[in-house]
Structures are given as C-alpha cells and as structure tokens.
Structure 1
Amino acid sequence: MNIEEFRAESHRMADRIADYFELVSSYPVKSQVQPGEILDALPQQPPAVSESMDSIMADFERIIMPGITHWQSPSFFAYFPANSSYPSVLAEMLTSALAQQGMIWETSPAATELEDRVMEWLKQIFGLPETWTGVIQDTASASTLAALLTARERATDWNVNDNGFAPEPGLRIYCSLETHSSIEKAAKIAGYGKNNLIKVAVKEDGSMDAGALEKAIGDDLHAGLKPVCVVGTLGTTGTTANDPLEEIGAICQKFNLWFHVDAAYGGTALMLPEMRHLTAGLKFADSYVFNPHKWMFTNFDCSAYFVRDTEALTRTFSILPEYLRTATRGQVKDYRDWGVALGRRFRALKLWFVIRSFGVEGLREKVRKHLDLARWLSETIENTEGFELLAPVNYSLVCFRYRPEAIADEEKLNQINQQLLQKVNQTGRLYITHTKIAGKYTLRLVIAQTYVERHHVEAAWSLIRKTASRLSI
C-alpha cells in the first residue's frame, strides 16, 4: 500500500466507523456465534501474497463482525462499561498514526508533559488531594499491582527487590470479600501468595467490616506475621458497595500500613459535587485508581493511578541500563519508572481530547443522566410486582431479580433468574450479566454507556418483564 492508497482507504475507513456508530443499535448486542465458529472460518495458513483491502474488509464483515459483542451499543448493560466516544476515537486515530513509544521524556516530550498536565486536571475535576501525583497505567489491575509492589518494598525497606522474599515473614494484604479479583492476581504476581491475602467480612450492604479488619490485623501481628497493605473499594464489582474509607484509613495509620483505594468504576462519579462526600476518606490513601476507560467516555485502555509518595513508587520500579541514560534524567518525569511496563502508549492524548471536547460540565451532565436513569429503573423495579431489588443503588448499577409470588425456594429462584438472563441475552436486543448476593442469583444492569438514553433503558426493562412472564416455572 502506498501513501495515495492509504489516503483513499483511510477516508473509506472513517466512513465505515461513522456508519458503525450510526448502526450499532441494529446489531445483536451480545455475539450470537458458537465457540470455534470464528476460528473455523479463518484460513489455517497465512496468505503468501498481498491481498486487497476490499478483500480484507469483506472478510471482516463476513467473519469478524458476527463475533463482535458490541460494547458501544446503548443497549449494553453488562459488567461495567468500556466506553468510547467520538473525540476519543479521533484521538486514537492520531495515537495510532504517531505511534509514540513514550517510555522516557526524550522519546516523546509531548506524551510525557501532556500526561503530567491531564493528571493534574483530573485532580481538579474530581477534588482529589493536592499532594497526590498521577500517572496513566493501562488497567486498574496494573495500577493495583503497582500499589502492592510499592507497599511490599516500603514495608521491607526495599529489601525484596534486592534479595527476594527468603528472610521476610509472611507479608499480609487485606481486602473485603467483595473486592475485585485483580487484587488476588496482583498478590500472586507480586509474590505475597494468595494465602496471604486476607478477605475481610462485609456488612449487609456489601461494604468492608472495619472492626473485622482491625481484628484480622491484630491476629496476624500476634502470630508473628507482617501486615503490609489494605485495599479499600469505592464501588465493588458485584454491587457497587462503598467501603468505609475513613475507618479503614485510620486503621492503616494506626498500624502504618499502605492504603490503596480501588475506585475503577465508581471513581468517575466523584466528578459530581453531590457525590464528593465519598472522597472523605481519601486523605488517608497512599494510592488510588479509577478508570476513565470505564465511565469517562475514553477508549480502553486508560487507568488513572495516583500516589502520595512518588519516590516510593519510582524507587520500586526504577532501573537504569546504560542505553536509557539521558542528559535530562532528574529534570523530567520518565514514566517508565512509574509502573511495570517499559514501553508506553500515548494514552494521555485521548483523555485530553475527551476532557476538552465534552468540557467538565458536559462530562458531569452525562454521568448525572446515568445516575438518574438508574434511580428511575430501581424505583420502577420496586413498584413492579414479582421483582425485587437486592442491593442499594449507589451509582448506576441496578441489582435485582425476578421473584414470582408463588415460589419461595431459593434454589428454584436462582434457576429461574439464570434462565431469564440467558433468554434475554439470546434475543440480542440487550446484554446483562449476573452476580450472587448472599447466595441469590442476581441480575446486574449497569447504565453507563456513552450514548444511552431513557428509551434504551425502558426497552430493556420491557423486554425483561415480557421474557419473565413467558418463563415456564
């Protein structure tokens, strides 16, 4: 492909992308293909000679598109969102074209300094502590790993980095039973071992029991173990419960523990002044993460990670081979020292585009709409015979189930709701997922897609009710 062919194809591709955004609601939200169907349609051998873009795009439509689950559909209500938006996509085009490798300042001064600035903007938008410093990681999982590694090194006076774990007693991490699975993965990768991750009991609302946390720490100290870090959550994955950050933070200060706060989804809501009360306990936090790629309309991947002590972070990750020594070392931020990866994409560009294109008030308007829609749906469910809410609606996630009056057996209710979920998703008209709350099979419907409107939520609720009424129970 030469430059003129590229110019023509790029214009065609832009039209295809715009067409996709216009037509996304017409596709089945959840892919309807069977396991292996895409693989079987792909040639076993790579092409020996060049193929035309027409041929490639024809196969894209024929083979690939049927296997796409449309996360950008306004009828996508599953998991948490991985949102896109028009300005974010435009920025991604530029990011791909520029193909920056922003590992150090000298490899891309603009990537480094724009990241520095937009992270300062985020502190202002979300009312985060002035003493924090931010860096963009790829995901919350990577951010949590960075937190646990830094906590490990601070607790051992940077001994594990040099000598490994051998002389250290059991290093303990604490989180709630509802904390995201990435915490356990990070504990394993960072060498703590999953058996040293203590999952603390939760209260009825799904939030961590601070009293149980303090007891667990005390028990470990008595046993000769070494408490290191506590992970609190704003907006748990299952139900969006909020841990009592002020109580947890005070406990961390008492025992000199690293306090990491995971707000991967819920953190976006803190841009609203009326939600700012949730930041009260953040004054105790040593590190904090939220994902603009979830609910801030910025393409995956883009995770905002903040730390109080940047020296602890960079001391944990810094390594300086000769080929990376530069004359600007010490004068600038070399973000390769701020996380696991050496190579870094120009993620700040799409965040900059989104903030400038929407404006802070435009972002807030979107998030408020989602919260309002969730409140409307929760009130509707409460007033609909045969359905019940199963968790408080703290953000824009609604947890509920179908409960026919004639059925009291919990296992039967679980089976009915699993059947309801499967039948609704099989229609292709919407996509929802589930969790279990106190053993109850719970339907999760999260309203946070960039371009979702009231009529999409109404249509989803109508389909759920109609499908439930037709179940054979």
Structure 2
Amino acid sequence: MKAEIHSLLPQLIDHGLENTEGLLRVACPEGTDEISKQPTPNDKDLVSHLAAPKQAKSISQVLQECASIFESRVATQHPKFFSFIPSTMLPVSWLADLIINAFNPHVGGSLAGSTCDIVEKSLMSWLASKIGFSADEAAGLSVSGGSMANFMALTAARDKIVPKTENHHLAVIYVSGDTHFSISKAARILGFGKDQICQIPGLEPQTLATSILDDRAAGRIPMAIVATLGSTSTGSIDPISEIATVASENNIWLHVDGAYGASILLSASYAHLAKGVEKADSLTWDAHKWLFTSYGCGMLFVKDKQCLARSFAAHSDFLDAGGRQENYEFWDLSLELTRPARAMRLWFILRALGTDRIGEMIDRGVRLAEEA
C-alpha cells in the first residue's frame, strides 16, 4: 500500500482527486463555484453503501469514492458564503493540515509532543499576553472548538467557586440572550438544571448586580457570568469591563466567550472593542473562525493555570504524576490525553502571513461589516 500511495502522490498534488478541479480549488473555491449541493436520493443510497466497506479497494478507487462523498456539501469557506461564520480557511491552512497530519504528533505532553509542545506553550503564552493575562500564571491550550472551551471553563468555575458537590444545585450561571447555546449544553452536562441559568437582557450591569444580590439572599450561590465577545447572530459585544467589575465585587467567575470575536485582539485599529477581557478569569477563542484555520482549532485561556489543574489533573500508572505546580503537562490542564497538533495549524498561518497582515485582514473584515 505504501508503494501505491507513493506512486499516486504526484498525481494527487498536481491534479487533485479525479472528478474535481484540484484539491486547492476544492479547499478554496472561486466565486463562480457552486456554494451548496445537496445529495439526491440516489446519492444517499450510494453513500450509505460506501459507508460500510467489506472488501479492500485500491487507493485510487478510494480517492474517487472520497471525492464523490465530499461532492455534496455546503462549502462554508466559499467567498460568497455568508450564512454563518464557522470557517474562513485560507489556502495556507490547507497546506498546514496536509503537512501536520503527515507527521501526526501526539501533543498530550512534553515527551511525545517534544518541540510541538514547546511551540504550543510559547504561542499560547504570547496570545495570553495579547489578552492581558500573565504569561507566568495563565494557561492557554488548543481544544477542538468553542463548545469544548466553554465546557472546560465552566468546569473550572464550578470547582473553584462551588467546590462542595452537595452545593452544586445552588449554583447560578448568568448569561445574556446572545449567549451561545453551548453554555447551556455545558451546564446541563455538568449537572446544572435550567433553573440555574439566569438570563439577563444584554447582561446590563445594574440588573446583573441586583439579580446576584437577590440570588444570594435566597440562599443560592452565584457561580459564573458568561459575557460574549462577538455573538453568533450579530457580532455584538457585551459590556465586558462593567460586567467584570460586578464579577469582581461579588467573587464570581467571569468567562468571556470570544470564540468569534477574540481575534479582534490582533487588530491594530479595533482591539479596543475587546476592552475588559484582561479582567476575565477565562476566555474562549476560536482560530477556525477569524484566524483562517481549518475546523477543529479552538483555544481556551485561563488566568490561573492551577484552576485548570484542579479540575483536570489526574494520576495514572503510565503517565508522570499529575498535579505539578510548575510544569504542568497539557493532559494536566485538559479533558484530553491524546491531543493533535492543533496549535501548529495556527502557528503555520501566523508564521506564513505575519501578525501584521493578519491584523490588517481582521481590520478589513470590520470595515466591510461597517460598509454593509
């Protein structure tokens, strides 16, 4: 099989999969290309048949079948696709994925991850400094996306603010009408009921402060506030600085869901729109939304790395002992043990384009939105 793959590589690189106009064209469509193609009943039957293979096929045939499967889809990276904002992948991101997947590093810890581990830690420290977090005290790590980052942030908030299990039913999480649904999903998975999610319109600070006082008086435990930096529907931003003041005065964890909007921190002209994120306890940031990577490249940043270690460090006979206070491994700070080199995707793009150009591209996006 290795020889067969080797013989196909020139064709794959030069011409792409059969029945397509090349992998690069597929990854980065032209404006005249079709945006959406939905499968016919016949297509569905064919794919269902292909989905449960029994006999081995040649790599060439498998490539053809793969192309036929991917043919029906919504090309969310299409230049004229504006329905929602999951990915703005650049050609360089596709190239990065190809190379990184060939190396297939395990970035769960420093032994297997080695230099990829060093790059991720250094890159996350640099991005943490852009947020305003201390590089020495904060932790940043790549995750699959905003949903996972939000889940881990709420877990850390629970374990710090409401450490006793018997009090979990008293916890309250404050959100706005624009808060992403992954927050309520994470809360449910963590064992919180619907009545423990308090929605405050626009997270208006005075209304928020009053609700917190009322909940405390009723014997509940205000646990976390989730502010939004770039809502899914409109890109709106909650008043983060004022919300942070309320959170600090009431000893409540402040999480900022910046999956979409946190990239504004790399803008030379509009970074001020993220004012107040430096006061948060945690921040979600997706590179696959506005930093031009392919899917599955999210990030979580927490101001105090020990909060993540409290929730996720564990002991095992085949790993080094967890709970180190200085040199935490990524498996000490994450739900995952086996981790792909997601951060290397982002590194590749930042290295190839430079942060100044990335900032200019973000600026252009804001100006286009203003013009629209």
* Fold shared, TM-score > 0.5 on shorter chain: yes
Select 1:129's aligned residue among 129, 133, 149.
Answer: 133
Instruction: Provide the residue aligned with 1:156 in structure 2.
Output: 162
Instruction: Provide the residue aligned with 2:6 in structure 1.
Output: 7
Kindly name which structure, 1 or 2, has the bigger radius of gyration based on alpha carbons.
1
Measured after TM superposition, the shift of residue 169 of structure 1 is 4.6
Measured after TM superposition, the shift of residue 348 of structure 1 is 1.6
Instruction: Provide the residue aligned with 1:176 in structure 2.
Output: 176
- State the distance in 1 between where 2:39 and 2:173 align: 41
**Residues 1:55 and 2:65 aligned together:** no
- State the distance in 2 between where 1:143 and 1:59 align: 35
Deviating more after overlay: 11-20 vs 310-319? 11-20
Per-residue CA distance 1:388-446 (angstroms, 9 max, x = gap): xxxxxxxxxxxxxxxxxxxxxxxxxxxxxxxxxxxxxxxxxxxxxxxxxxxxxxxxxxx
Structure 1 pair 297–215 and aligned structure 2 pair: CA distance change class (3 A): same
- State the distance in 1 between where 2:84 and 2:98 align: 27
**Residues 1:274 and 2:278 aligned together:** no
- State the distance in 1 between where 2:101 and 2:335 align: 22
Instruction: Provide the residue aligned with 1:201 in structure 2.
Output: 201
- State the distance in 2 between where 1:103 and 1:285 align: 26
Structure 1 pair 242–167 and aligned structure 2 pair: CA distance change class (3 A): closer
Per-residue CA distance 1:340-390 (angstroms, 9 max, x = gap): 22221111211111011000111122112222222222xxxxxxxxxxxxx
**Residues 1:343 and 2:299 aligned together:** no
Identical-residue share of aligned pairs (%): 28
RMSD: 2.3
Contact 1:87 1:350 in 2 (8 A): no
- State the distance in 1 between where 2:42 and 2:35 align: 18
* Mapping for residues 94-243 of structure 1, pairs under 5 Å: 94-124=99-129, 126=130, 128-130=132-134, 132-157=138-163, 159-160=164-165, 166-202=166-202, 208-243=203-238
* Mapping for residues 240-389 of structure 1, pairs under 5 Å: 240-325=235-320, 332-377=327-372
- State the distance in 2 between where 1:304 and 1:320 align: 24
Measured after TM superposition, the shift of residue 24 of structure 1 is 4.4
Contact 2:76 2:87 in 1 (8 A): yes
Normalised by the length of structure 1, the TM-score is: 0.72
Contact 1:260 1:285 in 2 (8 A): yes
- State the distance in 2 between where 1:141 and 1:328 align: 25
Give the letter for the 2:44 counterpart.
L
Contact 1:137 1:305 in 2 (8 A): yes
Measured after TM superposition, the shift of residue 329 of structure 1 is 6.3
Where do 5+ consecutive residues of structure 1 fail to align?
Answer: 161-165, 203-207, 378-473
Measured after TM superposition, the shift of residue 19 of structure 1 is 4.0
**Residues 1:67 and 2:66 aligned together:** no
- State the distance in 1 between where 2:112 and 2:173 align: 37
Structure 1 pair 121–112 and aligned structure 2 pair: CA distance change class (3 A): same
- State the distance in 1 between where 2:339 and 2:215 align: 39
Give the letter for the 2:209 counterpart.
E
Structure 1 pair 21–101 and aligned structure 2 pair: CA distance change class (3 A): closer
Measured after TM superposition, the shift of residue 331 of structure 1 is 6.3
Measured after TM superposition, the shift of residue 27 of structure 1 is 3.3
Structure 1 pair 22–140 and aligned structure 2 pair: CA distance change class (3 A): closer
Per-residue CA distance 1:55-104 (angstroms, 9 max, x = gap): 2233334x324312112211111211312222222221122112222222
Contact 1:135 1:305 in 2 (8 A): yes
Select 2:86's aligned residue among 81, 93, 116.
Answer: 81
Contact 2:29 2:78 in 1 (8 A): no
Give the letter for the 1:14 counterpart.
I
Give the letter for the 1:198 counterpart.
C
Where do 5+ consecutive residues of structure 2 fail to align?
Answer: 17-22
Per-residue CA distance 1:444-464 (angstroms, 9 max, x = gap): xxxxxxxxxxxxxxxxxxxxx
Per-residue CA distance 1:310-358 (angstroms, 9 max, x = gap): 1111111111111112699666431012122222111121111101100
Give the letter for the 1:108 counterpart.
G
SS where residue 325 of structure 1 aligns? coil
Structure 1 pair 24–54 and aligned structure 2 pair: CA distance change class (3 A): farther
- State the distance in 1 between where 2:28 and 2:233 align: 32
Measured after TM superposition, the shift of residue 26 of structure 1 is 4.0
Contact 1:175 1:200 in 2 (8 A): yes
Give the letter for the 1:129 counterpart.
F
Contact 2:312 2:332 in 1 (8 A): yes
SS where residue 273 of structure 1 aligns? coil
Instruction: Provide the residue aligned with 1:32 in structure 2.
Output: 38
Measured after TM superposition, the shift of residue 50 of structure 1 is 2.2
Give the letter for the 1:40 counterpart.
D
- State the distance in 2 between where 1:225 and 1:189 align: 20
- State the distance in 2 between where 1:279 and 1:264 align: 12
Contact 1:151 1:229 in 2 (8 A): yes
